[in-house]
Structure 1
Amino acid sequence: MVEEEFKWLMTTYSKPIEGDLILGSPPKLQWASDGNAEADGRNSAHSEHPSKDLETAICRTPALIPSRILPLLHTIAQKLVQDGNQQSCYKIYRDARRSALELSLRKLGVEKLIKDDVERMQSDALEAKIGKWTKYLQITVKLLAGERKICYEVFEGISFNKDQCFTELAGTGVAVAKTLLSFGDAVAKSKRSPEKLFVLLDMYEVMHEVRSEVEVIFQDSFCSEMREAALGLMKLLAQTAHEMFVNFEELVEKDTSKTNVHDGTVHPLTIRVINHVKFLFDYQSTLNLLFQEFETGSDTESQLAVVLTKIMQALQNNLDGKSNQYKDPALMSIFLANNIHYMVSSVRRSEAKHILGDDWIQIHRRIVQQHAKQYKMVAWGKAVQTLSIQVASSSGTSASSDLSSSGVSRAMIKERFKSFNMQFEELRAKQSLWTIPDQELRETLRLSIAEVLLPAYMSFVKRFGNLVENEKKPRKYLKYQPDELDQLLGEFFEGQQSVEQKK
């Protein structure tokens, strides 16, 4: 009997399908890091978003019924309809496919979550939920797309209400889709934070990927509400993500975190913002989609450059404000040099260099140099001035004749040596506790100090050292040899931890 054969075929070949057969195996997640020793030990500053340079799992439309069986089902369905058994054919097909779809979707275990649930969730838990949401949405859309495809293939050319049949059998799938869209809506409307931008971009990207299939699946009047809900969610995600991206500049500039960086090292805000910018480049293609949707009049890359330049300037402005906490102007300069250098070196090692450009890098390298120069002047100017021959000489006479014949001048030179020793000890005690985490910057600054200090000290010792060498305690005055000074400069900017390890 034709009807029994159709029922047997539909029952036999309508089996639930595993979601993993729809989603290809994703690559292992690699957690992004700034890859820089400068950030070691600053756990709180690290971002915890998986790197988007990993490709998402491949999603394919499943073969819900073997392709070799479809022509046979089409032939039998055609005969049943021609024989006047349209309702029986309709019911057999609908019930078999609905049961298979329900079993497939039941295994997903999709939860219904509202906005309040999302607000209460910790960020790690929310990210895990959104990871599942992405997978479930792709599976659901692919299953529904597959169901629509085989429905239209089996009943192609047959006088049969295919739209209604698909709508009825897809009821469970539509319900799951509604739940997923409801969760997406709750996330988009929940409290905003910089970290949430990335999950919104993930969600928007997935919605954009399935958009064309959603429009096909829900193209009929029976499903217009679902189509509008899906497209509405995509628009809401895009709008929210776009606003958060553009407004990040303001959040950075107005950041009032009370974290005090006592040793002048890289501030946690700098690390967070730079990590944020790095992650943005992992989402560059998604951001370009946002700009295409909301901006006109310029290419997306230039728009991205404008926003990123503003973010970096906002960070610099904030750091300028935070530097005012330092009462020591030398430490203020170290703090600014550290942070701007971190910005520059991070940009040079990332995709940001192609957007911000060489001019930005060169301008900010010069800013680092200016802060280093300012540090050297305010920290070492007095010590170098102490070693100045002009200061140690009497007006109108040569230093040698004055110092060889005058006890006052000898006392003055002794005082100069003592003053320099005291200043150097104070600078060493303080600045050994200061931190310059970047080795290149640390060595550059030490070298610049040595280039100014050592020649001045050597000249002073050569000119006037003989005046104190015959004292009872010459080391009281001539405390350091030039090579000793050079060695001690190597202890500067190592930080508290290094000093304690040497004790």
Structure 2
Amino acid sequence: MGSAYVTNYLDLDEEHDELQFLQESLEQINQISSKARLARLGSLVKPIHQSSRSLGKMQQNVDDTIASLKNMVKYFDCVRDEEPIIKQGPNEDDLLPYLKSINNLQLANDFIKQVNMRSCERVSKQIKQLLEVGLQNLNELFKKWLQQYSEPIDPTKYKSPLDIPRPPPATLRLLEMLITYLSTSESEIGTTIDYTKSFIDIRTLYISKSMAAIYSAADTTRVQSTATVYQKGTSPFITLTVNLLKIAQAEHDFIESVLPGDSAMDVFIKTFHMPVKRYFESAEGLIQSARRTIQTEKFMLFDVFETLKFYQNELDKVLYLSPSERKIISNLIASMSTPLMTSFAEYMEEAKSMAKISMPHDGTIYEFSSSAMSHMKRLLDHQETVESMMVTLGDGHWGYIADSSMTAKPRKTFSGQVILKHYFMDILHLLTTSLEAKCKGSKKSGVSIVFLMNNYHYIAKNIMGSKLLDVLGENELRIYENLDWKYQDHFCAMWKSCVEYLADDNGGPMGLKNKLVGHDKMTIKDKFKHFNSTLDELLRNQQGYAIPDQDLRLNLMDRIREMLIPAYSEFMERYQHTEFAKNSGKYVRYTKDILDRTIQRLFNSP
């Protein structure tokens, strides 16, 4: 039984394995059949799928073609659609619709260029013609808006370039937008609309009119006679230079804010071509005029010289000067240098002529004195320039012109200030010699004393109260102060004769006797009489003297009063109550107060 059971169990295993084999085989057969069916189905569906895709592409092509045709028709109809807007012109209050119309024409023009079909030539021509009309209208609007903000101004009323009026930001953006469209004219229509020429013409006129009054003032100066003493810094040429730079800087900023960078500089240079040329003409005319009358105009010429030197680099930088224009400035500076350097020697010759002028009859300030002090002080208004020229001339070479031949002459090496001091000392020596010579042969000692006192006081005061002291030094000042004090003492000494008549060596008759006798009375009468006559003569003579310096005048009056009033008061106290004369009023003509007021009216003082 056991063996039979084992045998049956083995048979079952074999059958199970066989069954599993059969199942796997069946599954493989099924898979092969399915693939075959799918392969067959795929072969049937593939032509249909390919046909469907082809139909889809054809439909897309048809749709694209229709869209392209519609787009092409739109460009071909562009002239018809945009012509009314273009010919009507831009609306200044609403520019965008007009610009949109220009954009549409530009797009149509670009499209037709790409199509490049002969059949499109007529439409292309129409589009370009309409574009030209549209861009010309924009150019006219650009000129109109630019003109509105190009009214002449007075540059002198504005402190800096930033203060000069310019279009508001919104207008600047509109101008910039118009320029963007106008700059495409050549590529769009084959013709350049030169908006830069319009810009240059309008702004050049604006600048010329704005500067006209300043140019005129500079031109008028050179034809006017010198009726007044020139004051440093008042030359219209300085005003012209400063304001030309000011308006140029403002214009440069304006141009850069609206024009493309590649054209901004060129437009600026062309805009300022005429104003710069006019500036050089003004400078040349002024210099030529000043050179003809160098001694009366030299200080104005110094101002112009220093102005050009000071602003030379800034003019070049701001105005973008060309090499030829830079050379013009250099030539202008050189053309002033020579006459200014020769003016030092020319003044010495002029001083020698002034030294021959007679002494003024009232002893006032000598013409040579006022000229010399003014000349020296005014040179110090340009000290750096003058010292530089003095170094070029060399010490003591006031008669030489700065040319190539000078460099061969041996010179002492001094600083400019030392050489300038020597020049001033030469002038003062010539002046002092002339002053003393004028009085040497004069018989009117009184007026001679007043003359020397006035002039030495004037010289000392001018040295002490100016930069002359820094150049000449304390020692030179002390020389003229001592001369001033010396002649003040001489002047006051003339009044001592009055005081001498008031002296009483015996202590006065009242101190000796209770009653005046005839001799005493006569002595007192003589003293009053001589005092009165001497005082009258001094007053008469000195009423004709002039002492223009108020401080000197007051000082002299104080000294005379201190010398005369106390002595006269004491004399009056002694004798006013004595019976030295029946008619004492005949002799006592002055009270203390009247004498004081009389002295205060000396020299025509108020």
1:172 is aligned to 2:274:
yes
Q: Quote the residue 1:135 is aligned against.
A: 239
Q: Quote the residue 2:292 is aligned against.
A: 190
Residues 93-115 of structure 1, C-alpha deviations (whole Å, 9 max, x = no match): 233123311232035437999x9
For the 8 Å contact 2:248–2:319, the answer to whether it is kept is no
Shift of 1:320: 3.6
Distance 1:224 1:413 in 2: 93
Q: What's the secondary structure of 1:109's corresponding residue?
A: helix
Shift of 1:211: 1.3
Distance 2:545 2:230 in 1: 38
1:434 is aligned to 2:545:
yes
Q: Quote the residue 1:237 is aligned against.
A: 336
Distance 2:190 2:338 in 1: 47
Shift of 1:295: 3.1
Residues 36-61 of structure 1, C-alpha deviations (whole Å, 9 max, x = no match): xxxxxxxxxxxxxxxxxxxxx76779
Q: What's the secondary structure of 1:211's corresponding residue?
A: helix
Q: How does 1:54-73 map to 2 (within 5 A)?
A: 69=173
> 253-262 or 203-212: which moved more?
253-262
Shift of 1:426: 2.6
Q: Quote the residue 2:313 is aligned against.
A: 212
Shift of 1:371: 0.8
Q: Quote the residue 1:106 is aligned against.
A: 209
For structure 1, the 5+ residue unaligned runs are 26-56, 393-406
Distance 1:126 1:19 in 2: 33
Higher relative contact order (CA 8 A, sep 6+): 1
Q: How does 1:112-123 map to 2 (within 5 A)?
A: 121-123=224-226
For the 8 Å contact 1:218–1:226, the answer to whether it is kept is no
Q: What's the secondary structure of 1:234's corresponding residue?
A: helix
For structure 2, the 5+ residue unaligned runs are 1-101, 107-131, 393-412, 507-517
Q: Quote the residue 1:399 is aligned against.
A: none
Q: Quote the residue 1:11 is aligned against.
A: 143
Residues 419-444 of structure 1, C-alpha deviations (whole Å, 9 max, x = no match): 66644443343234434344543454
TM-score (normalizing by structure 1) = 0.62
Q: Judging changes above 3 Å, is the alpha-carbon distance between structure 1 residues 141 and 423 closer, same or farther for their aligned structure 2 residues?
A: closer
Q: What's the secondary structure of 1:491's corresponding residue?
A: helix
Alignment-mate amino acid for residue 192 of structure 1: I
Q: What's the secondary structure of 2:212's corresponding residue?
A: coil
For the 8 Å contact 1:218–1:224, the answer to whether it is kept is no
| Identity percentage of aligned residues | 18
Give the alignment's Cα RMSD to 1 decimal.
5.7
Distance 1:21 1:451 in 2: 61
Distance 1:320 1:389 in 2: 39
Distance 1:388 1:99 in 2: 91
How many aligned residue pairs are there?
440
Q: Quote the residue 1:295 is aligned against.
A: 391
* Structure ranking higher in helix proportion: 2
TM-score (normalizing by structure 2) = 0.54
Q: Judging changes above 3 Å, is the alpha-carbon distance between structure 1 residues 496 and 414 closer, same or farther for their aligned structure 2 residues?
A: closer
For the 8 Å contact 1:305–1:356, the answer to whether it is kept is yes
Q: Quote the residue 1:488 is aligned against.
A: 595
Shift of 1:369: 1.0
Distance 2:275 2:219 in 1: 25
Distance 2:212 2:431 in 1: 43
Distance 2:338 2:538 in 1: 54
Shift of 1:84: 9.3
Residues 185-234 of structure 1, C-alpha deviations (whole Å, 9 max, x = no match): 3333222233x2332233234323431133236766xx433322222223
Shift of 1:180: 1.9
Q: Judging changes above 3 Å, is the alpha-carbon distance between structure 1 residues 58 and 442 closer, same or farther for their aligned structure 2 residues?
A: same
1:342 is aligned to 2:458:
yes
Distance 2:386 2:160 in 1: 23
Q: Judging changes above 3 Å, is the alpha-carbon distance between structure 1 residues 426 and 166 closer, same or farther for their aligned structure 2 residues?
A: closer
Residues 9-29 of structure 1, C-alpha deviations (whole Å, 9 max, x = no match): 86366446566564345xxxx
For the 8 Å contact 1:184–1:233, the answer to whether it is kept is no
> 62-71 or 486-495: which moved more?
62-71
Q: Judging changes above 3 Å, is the alpha-carbon distance between structure 1 residues 225 and 211 closer, same or farther for their aligned structure 2 residues?
A: same
Alignment-mate amino acid for residue 281 of structure 2: T
